Amino acid sequence: MKRKNDGFTLIELAIVIVIIAVLAAIAIFSYAKVQGNARDTTRAARTAAIGEALEKYYGKNGEYPSCSQMTQSGSQVGALLGIDPTLLLTPTASSSTTNSITGCSHLTAGTGSDTFAYVGDGTTNCSTGTACAQYTLEYRQESTGGIIVTVQAQHEAQSSPVSAPGTPVVSAAMSGTNAVGTSAATTCSVGTPQYQLRYRSTSTSTDGSWGSWSAWSSSQLSLTVAASQGYQYGFQAQARCYDGGNTSASSATSNIATTFRTINTPASPTYLSPSSFDSNVEAVVNYASYCPAGTTRLNGTFRVKAWTGGEWGPHPFGYLDSWENYSGVNKNVEYWGKYQCKSNWTTSSYSAESYNVIVVHP
């Protein structure tokens, strides 16, 4: 009798395996495509949110941020635009990335890093300064490799009746350890006044170099700078009028207002040398002083008193001193040192005197 075989042949098994592999590949491809489309949707939504925040920024400031401002850390850009910093991240950004925006260069089609491009108007002020007149937001579509321009905004200059305000008047004063420059308010015949300020600092007779202007602001009439002892700080301001999409020319630059930080009373000097004297042997008397950076020591002097009760001085630090001791035993002499610190703008009070007892050998 002939026996029936109910199992699969090798050919049949191979066909089944191939079919399963094809179905798995199709499923994996479909799943990856769904994921990629979902990430593209996230990219579109986040760049749209960034664009909306940029328009609000323009409505308040009459300009867009520069490329350098938009490529700062996520927390800084989030604060600048008033949005959640996570909106600045692409879906595949690494855990160490805080801002996926790259500045002032268009993306190219094909493969590449997952970033958002913020492309400005091509001016130096837009690239590295404080403002752009227009911008484009781009991202690379994951499903096709094409470049998607989600936002393209431009506000063309218009002939406007908005006139520049008068030149602001600036004052300067110290507030604790900060130097503060303040612009007096100006008025606009049309629109709202905005202000920008800058400062320079120096401890020498030269003027120092001006820093960058602050961002235009309708509310910030003052600029606060952490001040160094003995330094002078100079402040200037400009004003303009902003009315919706129209902005006036800047006013003339204001006067220069200055203030300086005084130098704190320095610490007592430290006696350095000599550790002792031999009778009739000259030695240089030196002290260490402690003046802040940018300032110099002034009037470093010491006075002395011998075991006989006689007093001498004041002598300058570095004085070549000597003693005569014919007693046959060691004798003590007393030294008191003090000094001041100075810059081109101010001089400190005298330090407290240091006190040291030095041995004179016979």
* Tens-place pLDDT, residues 157-179: 444 468 889 999 999 999 999 99
Rounded mean pLDDT, 114-143: 83
123 against 119, higher pLDDT: 119
In a domain, 2, yes or no: no
Q: Label residue 141 exposed, middle or buried (CB < 10 Å: 0-12, 13-18, 19+).
A: middle
Percent of the chain having pLDDT more than 90? 55
The whole model's pTM is what? 0.59
Range of lowest pLDDT (13-17, 87-91, 136-140, 183-187): 13-17
Q: Parallel, antiparallel, or unpaired: how do β-strands 311-316 and 296-305 relate?
A: antiparallel
Domain enclosing residue 144, as ranges: 10-154
Query: Amino acid identity of 233?
Result: Y
Q: Mark whether 305 and 252 lie in a shared domain.
A: no
Confidence of residue 153 (pLDDT cuts 50, 70, 90): low
Residue 27 pLDDT greater than 70, yes or no: no
Tell me what pLDDT residue 41 has: 85
**At 185, which CATH number?**
2.60.40
Instruction: Say whether both 147 and 177 belong to one domain.
Output: no
Beta bridge partners of 11: none
Any domain includes 324: yes
In this structure, are 22 and 142 located in the same domain?
yes
Residue 277 has pLDDT above 70, yes or no: yes
The pLDDT assigned to 325 comes to: 95
Of the three residues 208, 233, 260, the one that is the final residue of a domain is 260
Specify whether 41 is located in the same domain as 105: yes
Q: What is the mean pLDDT of residues 42-54?
A: 88
Domain count, the chain: 3
Confidence of residue 32 (pLDDT cuts 50, 70, 90): low
Distance CA 89, CA 112 (A): 16
Q: Phi first, then psi: what are they for 133, rounded to 5°?
A: -85, -20
Structure tokens at 143: 């499903």
Residues 254 and 278 in one domain: no
Contact call for residues 104 and 118 (beta carbons, < 8 A): yes
> Residue 157: what pLDDT?
45
Single residue among 128, 154, 180 that ends a domain in this structure? 154
| 331-342 and 296-305 beta bridge pairing | antiparallel
- pLDDT per position as a tens digit, 286-326: 999 999 999 999 999 999 999 999 999 999 999 999 999 99
Same-domain status, 142 and 52:
yes
Average pLDDT over residues 34-57: 84
In this prediction, residue 5 carries a pLDDT of 54
- Rounded to whole angstroms, how far apart are CA atoms 338 and 317? 9
Asked if pLDDT for residue 262 goes beyond 90, the answer is yes
Q: Which of 154, 189, 210 is the last residue of a domain?
A: 154
Same domain membership, residue 298 and residue 188: no
Q: What pairs with residue 175 in β-bridges?
A: 178
Same domain as 244, residue 175:
yes
